[in-house]
A and B are shown apart, each in its own frame.
Chain A
Amino acid sequence: MNSQVKWEVVIGVETHTQLSTASKIFSGASTAFGAAPNCQASAIDIALPGVLPVLNKGAVERAIRFGLAVGGTINRRSVFARKNYFYPDLPKGYQISQYEIPVVQGGSIAIVSPTRGAIKVALTRAHLEEDAGKSLHEGLDSHGAPGRGMTGIDLNRAGTPLLEIVSEPDLRSAEEAVAYAKTLHSLVRWIGICDGNMQEGSFRCDANVSVRPAGDAKLGTRCEIKNLNSFRFMHQAIEFEIRRQIESIEDGGNVVQETRLYDPDKNETRPMRSKEDAQDYRYFPDPDLPPLVIDEALIKRIRAEMPELPEPMAHRFVTDYGVPLGDAAQLTVSRETARYFESTVKAPVGVHLSGKTAANWILGEISARLNRDGIEIEQAPVRPNEFARLLARFQDNTISGGIAKEVLDAMWTGQNGGDADAIIAAKGLQQISDAGTIEKIVDDVLAANPAIAAEFQAGKEKAFNSLVGKAMAATKGKANPAQVNAILKRKLAG
């Protein structure tokens, strides 16, 4: 094939979202992570003879919440089916999942594509199902017996409720796929249906990747990549897979439809099973579970309990607080961040705080300190009310931005009770805004640095900043930078 062909990448993502119920989807066993193997597996989870599944209503409510959040259709009647296959960590020999009729159909997720801007990714469906257990092939204590070739089975995870969210093949690059996954990840945490813990497997993505000559209407043969348990791996795996498929076609070969596993150590995808040996799962409606019937009243109740969603909230931040859309989108990446922002701007500090400034400071200074300390915003030692008082002092020119950062550091470590005013007073950090004082300082700086002043007058713009810096340094940063700027400009012009 002509290597001049431009390739279009087509990606759809399937996400297994672990629902944050306390107990499993069909049994009363706990879903907490990290227990000793098989300590959280009930008679139902280990599929003793005679046991029966009973649907956890909490899982259904979370699925409905998701359906409402993405604007999908909540099917008033959906059906649980059995997906039959043998595997040691699948105790019943079948997985209970929704097949023909899922609980949620349609809906969409709004994402910001690095190349296409704001786009909507359509969802095919979201269905409820149970997770399987885990097979442990390594490090197995065989209690004295030869352990070679032994496999251990841990059924703690068996029966954990999952919502499998399937996107349409609407994504056109690894970056878009990651943007989708990140947006979905923040949404499921936002609406409180999943803890989003990717290390513990609470949010697992599979990507269906194919390529086709740009402009072709027909989709290329796809491969499904499994085991994408971080956004970084997802990006790398898709990038690798795109290259592999294009190279394969350009070398005169073709893409075989198969399931591939991503190996982060080697940064490559490898075939897991091909479609030829695809299993026949013999789906049929589970006779142990009547169809899931959802009544209007339940939907109404859940709708009433729904928090404001990130997308409309971001738009509200733009209108209500004058925050730029990009910042608003970042502030609404989690409910906690959004709440921190809104609590800050609404704090009773006597002045009307600028939303734009607050957003800047939260996404910049606060965020940097959280990252440095490895904590979440809800654990930030500076609470929104305290932070608002700092911003107020900045806004009323009591302190400059640079000093404000210094005060923030002091607040962060709890000095003077974390109170901005007390710290400013104790350290004598009040901004110098007296025009006469500043004029004198500027005069001194100009007198001491005639060469730099000359450089500026010769057209070197950067020299101006150097003079400002020297004036600020002379006041230990306390001079009002705007006034320093204005006075210096006037003097140099004169």
Chain B
Amino acid sequence: MITSSVAELSRALHARRLSSVELTGALLDRIDAANPTLNAFLTVDREGALVHARAADARIAAGTASRLTGIPLAHKDVIMTEGLRTTCGSRMLEKFIAPYSAFVAERLAHAGMVLVGKTNMDEFAMGSSNENSYFGPVRNPWNTTCVAGGSSGGSAAAVAARLVPAATGTDTGGSIRQPAALSGICGLKPTYGVCSRYGLIAFASSLDTPGAFGQTAEDCALLLNAMAGHDSRDSTSVDRPAEDYTRLLGANAGAKPLAGVRIGLPREYFGAGTEPGIVQAIEAAIAAFRSLGATTVELSLPNVDYSLPVYYVISPAEASSNLARFDGVRYGHRAAKYDDLMDMYKKTRAEGFGAEVKRRILVGTYVLSHGYYDAYYLKAQQVRRLIADDFQRAYQSCDVIVGPTTPTTAFCVGDKIDDPVQMYLNDIFTIASNLTGTPAISIPCGFDGKGLPIGLQIQGNAFAEARILNVAHRYQQTTDWHRRIPAGFAP
């Protein structure tokens, strides 16, 4: 029972077949047992979790509970949580206690979710393998010699190993969807602006998007219902009427529930470079969509191949500026010994940041510098617009776009860490939705020959979350990939 989905656990809690205290306690024990292997959690708040679980049980008893009340949750350690250590995977914030909570953390707490701890991540959310964490890599529950993906690797591994039914993440270039794919779970990146960024430690402000991990598309929808909403403290937060993201899950009951849904298949997502096992699984998934009544449309996104270079100009540029506040003056790490102000800056930042963060700060500083701005940053923004135009054209002929989430399944710890470009290429299919600010989900759609999970990405136009969740949910009604639990983590 305790390894069930959010929706199932919610029913059990409301039926009083299970208490939040029982559930939370049992999952805390699972975390204690599994974390030495997986390194998914950086902070576990047993006491706080049990306090919140008791409060949740009281709410359920009083009849004032939401569907999420009493459900244990983990936050990626990029999300500020008042009174709890928030490290962002960095030595810079190794001992930093957040003095306030992020908007999404407040919303999920308000819904009654029980925060059990903070999950490991690539330092400042920069990475695709979680090997850039100051606190060491996260291991993949399906094969602990492999990475869990990144940057939200801890959240993905925790949900995959059934240590928590749900977790938050942030997605700047694929940091929710890629680890979801590599770990065999669902990861939803909403439309930019649907969830406030207030309280997310910024990496690349125009791309950073908070989102959710769960076993099912339905669970992601339930979490998004609580996380979404206008926040006057984030000027990029969209002010639209609240919507129920579960509303289309059960639409069109019958043999052909996806009748009328047009699935776009971009040529660019089906070229060489993707592992054959992945291609096979994606083709099987497309066949399943057709049998559910969907039609498919082949199309082209001519500029999408520029996504990666565009991303690696814009995101480091914004990061180089966003990370300037970590200067040792007001909080966080400060070098123990220094000669003068400049020396303090240099030593503090040299010691506090890891290699990948430094690499991106250097790149970002370079592309913004005088004489290079037009050739790099400005050009990248122009191409970003062209990529967005490609997608707008595509959505005139389809409702969702489907393809692989990643070109490979999980790789071994240490395999790509010395080759940044190979590492960056793992995000080749996910980056475009960040550049265009549009929603996407990765859901499990099979396993490769090595028994590693494969992710299917479903992208939609801005604010089309309910539609992509509908397509994902209908697929999960006829498949059981999402129900598989990694051996060794079965209850």
Interface size class of A (residues with CB under 8 A): 20 to 34
A125 within 8 A of B: no
A86 within 8 A of B: yes
Segment 147-165 of A: residues with Cβ below 8 Å from B: 151, 153
Which of A43, A47, A54, A151 is B100 in contact with, Cβ under 8 Å? A43
Q: Is the pair A290, B235 in contact by a Cβ cutoff of 8 Å?
A: yes
Chain A residue, CB-CB nearest to B124: A49
Q: Is the pair A50, B324 in contact by a Cβ cutoff of 8 Å?
A: no
B476 within 8 A of A: no
A463 within 8 A of B: no
Which of A48, A52, A54, A94 is B99 in contact with, Cβ under 8 Å? A48
Inter-chain contacts of B235 with A (CB < 8 A): 52-55, 288-290
Q: Is the pair B368, A290 in contact by a Cβ cutoff of 8 Å?
A: no
Given A91-B325, A91-B330, A282-B365, check contact A50 B199 (CB 8 Å).
yes
What does the 1/0 interface line of A71-111 toward B look like (CB < 8 Å)? 00000000000101010100111100000000000000000
Given A43-B100, A50-B199, A153-B329, check contact A93 B341 (CB 8 Å).
no
Chain A residue, CB-CB nearest to B373: A284
Majority SS at the chain A contact face = loop
The CA of A327 and the CA of B242, in the complex, are separated in Å by: 62
Of A43, A50, A51, which is in contact with the most chain B CB atoms at under 10 Å from its CB?
A50
Tell me, rounded to whole Å, the shortest Cβ–Cβ distance linking A291 to chain B.
11
A265 within 8 A of B: no
B424 within 8 A of A: no
Chain A residue, CB-CB nearest to B196: A52
Q: Is the pair B236, A92 in contact by a Cβ cutoff of 8 Å?
A: no
Q: Is the pair A94, B324 in contact by a Cβ cutoff of 8 Å?
A: yes
Given A92-B324, A93-B324, A287-B206, check contact A282 B198 (CB 8 Å).
no
The CA of A153 and the CA of B331, in the complex, are separated in Å by: 13
Tell me, rounded to whole Å, the shortest Cβ–Cβ distance linking A277 to chain B.
13
Tell me, rounded to whole Å, the shortest Cβ–Cβ distance linking A438 to chain B.
78
Inter-chain contacts of A49 with B (CB < 8 A): 80, 86, 88, 93, 96, 98, 201-202, 325
Inter-chain contacts of B79 with A (CB < 8 A): 50
A280 within 8 A of B: yes
Inter-chain contacts of B143 with A (CB < 8 A): none
What does the 1/0 interface line of B58-71 toward A look like (CB < 8 Å)? 00000000000000
Which of A47, A94, A282, A287 is B369 in contact with, Cβ under 8 Å? A282
B156 within 8 A of A: no
Of B99, B317, B325, which is in contact with the most chain A CB atoms at under 10 Å from its CB?
B325
Chain B residue, CB-CB nearest to A279: B370
Segment 408-430 of B: residues with Cβ below 8 Å from A: none
Tell me, rounded to whole Å, the shortest Cβ–Cβ distance linking A142 to chain B.
16
Inter-chain contacts of A94 with B (CB < 8 A): 321, 324
Q: Is the pair B327, A93 in contact by a Cβ cutoff of 8 Å?
A: yes
B377 within 8 A of A: yes
Q: Is the pair A52, B201 in contact by a Cβ cutoff of 8 Å?
A: no
Segment 227-272 of B: residues with Cβ below 8 Å from A: 232-236
Q: Is the pair B233, A84 in contact by a Cβ cutoff of 8 Å?
A: no
Inter-chain contacts of B204 with A (CB < 8 A): 287
Q: Is the pair A43, B324 in contact by a Cβ cutoff of 8 Å?
A: no
A411 within 8 A of B: no
The CA of A46 and the CA of B88, in the complex, are separated in Å by: 19
Q: Is the pair B345, A86 in contact by a Cβ cutoff of 8 Å?
A: yes
Inter-chain contacts of A51 with B (CB < 8 A): 198-199
B43 within 8 A of A: no
Which of A53, A55, A84, A151 is B324 in contact with, Cβ under 8 Å? A84
B123 within 8 A of A: no
Inter-chain contacts of A93 with B (CB < 8 A): 321, 323-325, 327
Q: Is the pair B236, A288 in contact by a Cβ cutoff of 8 Å?
A: yes
Inter-chain contacts of B80 with A (CB < 8 A): 48-50
The CA of A458 and the CA of B322, in the complex, are separated in Å by: 90
Majority SS at the chain B contact face = loop
Q: Is the pair A50, B321 in contact by a Cβ cutoff of 8 Å?
A: no
B394 within 8 A of A: no
Segment 303-337 of B: residues with Cβ below 8 Å from A: 317-318, 320-321, 323-325, 327, 329-331
Segment 250-288 of A: residues with Cβ below 8 Å from B: 280, 282-284, 287-288
Segment 33-80 of A: residues with Cβ below 8 Å from B: 43, 46-55
The CA of A200 and the CA of B321, in the complex, are separated in Å by: 31
Inter-chain contacts of A289 with B (CB < 8 A): 235
Segment 39-82 of B: residues with Cβ below 8 Å from A: 79-80
Q: Is the pair B370, A50 in contact by a Cβ cutoff of 8 Å?
A: no
The CA of A82 and the CA of B329, in the complex, are separated in Å by: 20
Tell me, rounded to whole Å, the shortest Cβ–Cβ distance linking B103 to chain A.
9
The CA of A52 and the CA of B102, in the complex, are separated in Å by: 11
What does the 1/0 interface line of B82-110 toward A look like (CB < 8 Å)? 00001010000100101110100000000
B197 within 8 A of A: yes
B278 within 8 A of A: no
The CA of A284 and the CA of B199, in the complex, are separated in Å by: 23
Tell me, rounded to whole Å, the shortest Cβ–Cβ distance linking B157 to chain A.
24
Q: Is the pair A280, B370 in contact by a Cβ cutoff of 8 Å?
A: yes
Q: Is the pair A50, B368 in contact by a Cβ cutoff of 8 Å?
A: no
The CA of A88 and the CA of B236, in the complex, are separated in Å by: 28
Inter-chain contacts of B232 with A (CB < 8 A): 54
Which of B201, B236, B318, B329 is A50 in contact with, Cβ under 8 Å? B201
Tell me, rounded to whole Å, the shortest Cβ–Cβ distance linking A273 to chain B.
14
Q: Is the pair A92, B325 in contact by a Cβ cutoff of 8 Å?
A: yes
Inter-chain contacts of B93 with A (CB < 8 A): 49
Tell me, rounded to whole Å, the shortest Cβ–Cβ distance linking A154 to chain B.
12
Q: Is the pair A284, B368 in contact by a Cβ cutoff of 8 Å?
A: yes
The CA of A258 and the CA of B206, in the complex, are separated in Å by: 36
The CA of A91 and the CA of B330, in the complex, are separated in Å by: 8
Q: Is the pair A50, B198 in contact by a Cβ cutoff of 8 Å?
A: yes
Given A43-B100, A91-B325, A284-B321, check contact A54 B233 (CB 8 Å).
yes
Inter-chain contacts of A151 with B (CB < 8 A): 341
The CA of A51 and the CA of B318, in the complex, are separated in Å by: 15
Chain A residue, CB-CB nearest to B197: A52
Chain A residue, CB-CB nearest to B93: A49
Chain A residue, CB-CB nearest to B101: A50
The CA of A94 and the CA of B323, in the complex, are separated in Å by: 10
Q: Is the pair A52, B234 in contact by a Cβ cutoff of 8 Å?
A: yes
B182 within 8 A of A: no
B200 within 8 A of A: yes
Which of B99, B205, B368 is A287 in contact with, Cβ under 8 Å? B205
Chain B residue, CB-CB nearest to A288: B205
Tell me, rounded to whole Å, the shortest Cβ–Cβ distance linking A29 to chain B.
13
Inter-chain contacts of A88 with B (CB < 8 A): 327, 329, 341
Inter-chain contacts of B100 with A (CB < 8 A): 43, 48
Q: Is the pair A86, B327 in contact by a Cβ cutoff of 8 Å?
A: yes
The CA of A52 and the CA of B235, in the complex, are separated in Å by: 8
Q: Is the pair B317, A86 in contact by a Cβ cutoff of 8 Å?
A: no
Chain B residue, CB-CB nearest to A41: B330
The CA of A153 and the CA of B198, in the complex, are separated in Å by: 25
The CA of A283 and the CA of B232, in the complex, are separated in Å by: 26
Of A46, A92, A287, A288, which is in contact with the most chain B CB atoms at under 10 Å from its CB?
A287
Chain A residue, CB-CB nearest to B86: A49
Inter-chain contacts of B205 with A (CB < 8 A): 287-288
The CA of A91 and the CA of B327, in the complex, are separated in Å by: 9
Q: List 14 A-B contacts (CB under 8 A).
A: A43-B99, A46-B330, A49-B80, A49-B325, A50-B197, A84-B320, A84-B321, A92-B325, A93-B327, A94-B321, A280-B369, A282-B373, A288-B205, A290-B235
Q: Which residues of B contact A (CB under 8 A)?
A: 79-80, 86, 88, 93, 96, 98-100, 102, 197-202, 204-206, 232-236, 317-318, 320-321, 323-325, 327, 329-331, 341, 345, 365, 368-370, 373, 377
Q: A49-B98, A283-B373 are in contact. List 18 more A-B contacts (CB 8 A).
A: A48-B331, A49-B96, A49-B202, A50-B197, A50-B199, A50-B201, A51-B199, A52-B197, A54-B232, A54-B233, A88-B327, A151-B341, A280-B370, A282-B369, A282-B370, A283-B368, A284-B373, A284-B377
Q: Which 8 A-B pairs have the closest CB atoms?
A: A93-B324, A282-B368, A287-B206, A287-B205, A49-B201, A50-B199, A47-B325, A50-B80
